[in-house]
Structure 1
């Protein structure tokens, strides 16, 4: 059979004669003239028609469920999208709970205020009130720092609403935007190592920490329920409980943390526990 098909294929453009003999009447015969090319075209045409019919049956009849269920695929795709959104919301809630817990801890540690004066300033204030203290023993720099700190405490900076939009907290270029769906709740500002970054509004330091992923992390509480978060800092010049004014230097940026891909500063802005797009609050100077 294979040899017969092979000969037909090799002689497909030649006209062949097909002769049929009757075993009971050998003398009678019937002959047919044809070209193998026509036979092959008929075979390919029939095969194409069969494939089209099978494809239509699979696409538009219940037989498709035996091979592929489009509704199940759509449901799986929707479930994956919903799962990602739920995970993003859960991350947001976890971050909010962490910040609230840190704020409660700071508030609980003070009697009359959430923000305590550092021991250095308190010691200088006590010395200044002492009658036996000579004026020369306190340096001019320490007095200036003490008065500045006290002025801030009594100025009720948390009664005023922060002014936005304001300039970037650091000189640099925005390289990655706000994308809460992927867990990126702020923006990245590329800069050079050692560049100082500043506070964007009056507030107080409610958390300062070092993490493997983000390096030094700083949280600042402002009025109107706003919290700013700085990550990937190489160093910090403020501590928990310090009062800061807009423009005060908070530290320096660097390429710090496992998740850092280069020298930059990451800044987040939260309001009442909900992440905000920093681009709505910041403008490049």
Structure 2
């Protein structure tokens, strides 16, 4: 019993000695070396010193965390890139692509002007390029007033036509994709036997099928270069001319918006990279601008 009491007393004494030691205050003085006068002094204990270090470390952690959370530095942390930042990156990439296309269009315009001034090209031998009329592709555009009026007029004319009661409407369940993202340089003019529209676009830019269908012709024409034609199930046929390269063969099935060729400058009648696009309905040419928002 006495040994246990001695051990307990010794343990308590050590415990009290430890707390007394860390709470014991030390005097820290600053003395002028020349006069040996005490300039400044303060008392500090080990407990106060460790508490101050812990508080400083905690404050440093909090400040660092706030800086990371409230500044763009957080984007450099692995796995922190959120959906909003990804969306901004995608939007920036789309804007950069649009600016690049506009810059190429402007460079083409300047090169044409330079060629005309230096006499290397005749003014009437090029398509007009207006960089200010550049239009981005937008496949969610509603029907224009002219298109709506045309459809309404056609439906009124065919309403009492018994022979076509079961026939599909001209544009029923049909949404026409823009064949290429470009600027119209020459419009549809049946009097001049220009049965389509010319779209100025960048060389080797993708040409897409305006509707779902089957490729019925691919070949090279001396006047129109590489030509591809697609037959659609609603009676329409689309024709794409002056291509640099054809990506599909006869008999291939294509979906609306699928790339079928690349923009080029082939054929005797071509004076620059562009796409000549024609739209035919049951053997009769129609104005593509009445169906597609270019």
| TM-score range normalised by the length of the shorter chain | 0.3 to 0.5
Higher RCO (CA-CA < 8 Å; seq separation 6+): 1
TM-score, scaled relative to structure 2: 0.41
TM-score, scaled relative to structure 1: 0.42
